[in-house]
Chain A
């Protein structure tokens, strides 16, 4: 009788398999473990608020199947959360670059105030004098002027920091005070309202969202982009004979990416216009809409701005020389200079970009409240810095990701809106929780970095 030889190969393979299935999974899919941690934290926060509202306060809960208007995980609440995240998220992407190069920008909230105020005055009091009220070009001129102002202020900060050698902490602390004061002086503390009606769409709201069809188009384009990226990435690796990801891992990434995108589309499409808006819309367009007509919000325009900014900034950081230089300066400023990088010029550009992004946030914020006030963006700098840091940006420099900062913003805003929802919205508790979470998040990150070393 001949017996088959023992399957030696199996044991060899299983030894190759490494320490744990999870580690192997992370290795094969090449997912950033920190991303898994952040998504996990976000889900815990969401589920926690939903269950707390149900079990402690006796309200509705989506998870327990008793959803009503007061639950946390409703399309309405999550849609509002996405709009609230836009302003902080947009700025957090820029703060990543600032912090990666071992700088800080404390002035972004005040830049919101001054650019928002300038845009308010321009579109409400100045342009209508020359163009007439409600002229079609008012919103465009306003937006361009606001962005230009943000760029100039940021570039000025960058120039003081890079070419005059004043520490960024001091320059932007000064900026925090100066620009906030300017925002007040510009209109003697008045609130400027109402903003141009087209401009107001940039802030979200039922009309400032792209509706069901538009959201499906955006979602399908997003899925196509995910698949295209995976395919071209694989092709590029094959071309240079690098190790390929296992096919199942590629498929998994495609599934997760497309699943998240389509899930978001379903969510924002599940949030209908309120009855009053439907009726007003019907009247304005001369249609007779039956009682209970379901019109989806779809993605809000500020959220699309955030997504667009996030994609562009990711591209900037990972695919351009500028992004490479930002990381190099953060890792070793001296080495970057010796490699022929004009570190001062790069620093100036980073702060100018931060100013531009702050003006984007000013557009979103003032459009959302349909007015401009000198208090806009107050304390935003702290949330923005916290978002970047919670998102894994290292204050020691050299490390940070755009998607991390956006997730960080989402985590912070989830905490904030959840605290309001469960009745701790008066500010003091919010501050206590936020402060604790910030320190805890950074501590966990430090622990994580120690273990991977």
Chain B
């Protein structure tokens, strides 16, 4: 993996506190085009919080977000979307009472010439992208509450993929999935990576990290333990970073 040139994303010295507790404490990570960076750490290590500063769900207290080397201001999810940052949240963030198409286009509805939402067009587009991502998906006209975990996940993924993301954030995308669906997500990650997207992947399963990620940034208690090239370390060494918060000497 080449890590020369300007990173696609650089989170520089990011800090955010909640009620006096430093959830993220001066953390710096970066991401290059065509790269998958794993964000690892225990529950409460601050990975999701860090990433929510990038996706606009939280506002950082300190530090800078740089996209292609330029400082950008991300105040809310709309700002993030304007930077072609798409996020698949752990909770999926779907409106359960709406159908797949309404969720896919939520906040970015296709409209007719008169400015009214074009449900037929949106459903047709949803059918197209689903045919690519999950050909078994058939339930287009029911609320997503009626879908299985895997089907819901594919709606969330379709939403991120449809809008030509440059930067994709995936928060434990396979946590609720069976083995077959997990494979599907893995293949998708490889495909998107080949298309030149940068992907931040929050993942607990160390095998998935070794398989999918180019680099891994490990966090503990809100601080960055270190960033390593996955090919240079063993899975035990990464586990050591997660558990003990110690960066292996030779990978430094």
B117 in the interface (beta carbon within 8 A)? yes
CB contact between B76 and one of A239, A331, A340, A399 (< 8 Å): that residue? A340
Chain B residues 95 to 151 lying within 8 A of chain A, measured CB to CB, are 95-98, 102, 106-109, 111, 115-117, 120-121, 123-124
A288 to chain B, nearest CB (A): 52
CB distance from A249 to the nearest CB of B (A): 16
Question: Does A334 sit within 8 A of B, measured CB to CB?
Answer: yes
Whether A324 pairs with B120 at a CB distance below 8 angstroms is no
Q: Jot down 14 A-B pairs with beta carbons below 8 A, ordered by A.
A: A240-B124, A241-B124, A321-B111, A324-B106, A324-B117, A327-B95, A328-B98, A331-B96, A332-B93, A335-B93, A336-B106, A337-B77, A338-B77, A339-B107
How many A residues touch the partner, as a band?
Answer: 20 to 34
Given contacts A319-B116, A324-B106, A332-B93, 18 further A-B contacts (CB under 8 A): A237-B120, A240-B121, A240-B124, A242-B120, A242-B123, A242-B124, A320-B116, A321-B109, A324-B109, A327-B97, A332-B94, A332-B95, A335-B92, A335-B94, A339-B106, A340-B56, A398-B95, A399-B97
Of A321, A324, A330, A338, the residue contacting B93 (CB under 8 A) is: A338
Q: Which of B77, B91, B115, B117 contacts A339 (CB 8 A)?
A: B77
Q: Cα distance A398–B93 when bound, in Å?
A: 15
Task: For the complex, give the distance between the alpha carbons of A398 and B108 in Å.
Answer: 19
Rounded to whole Å, the gap between the CB of B75 and the closest CB of chain A is 11
Contact with B along A326-369 (1 / 0, CB 8 A): 01101110111111110000000000000000000000000000
Interfacial residues, chain B to chain A (CB-CB below 8 A)? 55-57, 76-78, 81, 87, 89, 91-98, 102, 106-109, 111, 115-117, 120-121, 123-124
How far in angstroms is the closest Cβ of chain A from B113?
A: 13
Contact B117 A320 (CB under 8 A): yes
Give min CB distance, B151 to chain A, whole Å: 16
Decide: A335 near B95, CB < 8 A? Known: A237-B120, A341-B106.
yes
Which of chain A's residues have a CB closer than 8 A to the CB of B92? 335
Q: A residues within 8 A CB of B116? A: 319-320
Contact B107 A341, beta carbon cutoff 8 Å: yes
**Cα distance A328–B95 in the bound complex, in angstroms:** 5
Closest to B105 in A: A324
A389 to chain B, nearest CB (A): 17
A339 to B76, CA, bound (A): 10
**In the bound complex, how far is the Cα of B95 from the Cα of A334, in angstroms?**
9
* A236, CB-defined interface residue at 8 Å: yes
**Which residues of B have CB within 8 Å of A324?**
98, 102, 106, 109, 117
Of all A-B residue pairs in the complex, the 4 with the closest CB atoms, nearest first, are A331-B97, A331-B95, A398-B97, A339-B107
Instruction: Give Cα A336 to B81, complex, Å.
Output: 14
Residues of chain A with a CB closer than 8 A to B77's CB: 337-340
| Chain A 132-153 interface 0/1 with B at a Cβ cutoff of 8 Å (1 = within) | 0000000000000000000000
Whether A319 and B96, one on each chain, are in contact in the complex, defined by CB atoms closer than 8 angstroms, is no
Q: Taking chain A's interface residues, is the majority helix, strand, or loop, or is none over half, making it mixed?
A: helix
Are A340 and B78 in contact (CB-based, < 8 A)? yes
- A92, chain B: closest CB distance, angstroms: 20
Decide if B120 touches A239 in the complex (CB within 8 Å). yes
Contacts of A241 in B (CB 8 A): 124
Nearest A-chain residue to B121, judged by Cβ: A240
Contacts of A319 in B (CB 8 A): 116-117
Contact partners of A327 in chain B: CB under 8 A = 95, 97-98, 102
Residues on A with C-beta less than 8 A from B89 are 338
Within 8 A of B (CB), among A236-285: 236-237, 239-242
Across-interface contacts of B115 in A (CB, < 8 A): 320
Contact pick for B120, options A240, A328, A338, CB 8 Å: A240
Contacting A398 at CB < 8 Å: which of B55, B96, B106? B96
Q: Could you tell me the distance in whole angstroms from the C-beta of B145 to the nearest C-beta in chain A?
A: 8
Q: How far is the CB of A405 from chain B (nearest CB, A)?
A: 17
A340 to B107, alpha carbons, bound, how many Å? 6
CA distance A398 to B98 in the complex (A): 9
Which residues does chain B contribute within 8 Å of A237, judged by CB atoms? 120
- CB B25 to nearest CB in A, in angstroms, measures 24
A window 311-331: CB within 8 A of B: 319-321, 323-325, 327-328, 330-331
Q: Inside 8 A of B102's CB, which chain A residues have their CB?
A: 324, 327-328
* B95→A236 contact, CB < 8 A: no
Structural contact, B109 and A332, CB atoms closer than 8 A:
no
In the bound complex, residues from chain A placing their C-beta under 8 Å from that of B123 are 240, 242
Taken together as a complex, chains A and B put the C-alpha atoms of A14 and B115 apart, in Å, by 44
Instruction: Select one of B81, B87, B106 contacting A328, CB under 8 A.
Output: B106
Q: Which of B77, B108, B121 has the most CB of A within 10 A?
A: B77
A340–B106 Cα gap in the complex (Å)? 8
Q: What separation, in Å, do the CA atoms of A301 and B30 have in the docked complex?
A: 65
CB distance from B204 to the nearest CB of A (A): 22
Indicate with 1 or 0, residue by residue over A290-322, a CB within 8 angstroms of chain B CB atoms. Answer: 000000000000000000000000000001110
Contacts of A321 in B (CB 8 A): 109, 111, 117
Q: Do residues A332 and B120 form an inter-chain contact, with CB atoms below 8 A? A: no
Bound-complex Cα distance A23 to B57 (A): 44
Residues in B neighbouring A335, C-beta threshold 8 A: 91-95, 106
Q: Which of B94, B96, B98, B111 has the most CB of A within 10 A?
A: B98
Which residues of the partner chain B approach A332 to less than 8 Å between Cβ atoms?
A: 93-97
Judging by beta carbons under 8 Å apart, are B95 and A338 in contact?
Answer: no
A394 to B95, CA, bound (A): 15
Q: Which residues of the partner chain B approach A330 to less than 8 Å between Cβ atoms?
A: 97
> Complex Cα distance A325/B78, Å?
14
Which A residues touch B117, using CB under 8 A? 319-321, 323-324
Query: Roughly how many angstroms separate A321 CA and B94 CA in the complex, as a whole number?
Result: 17
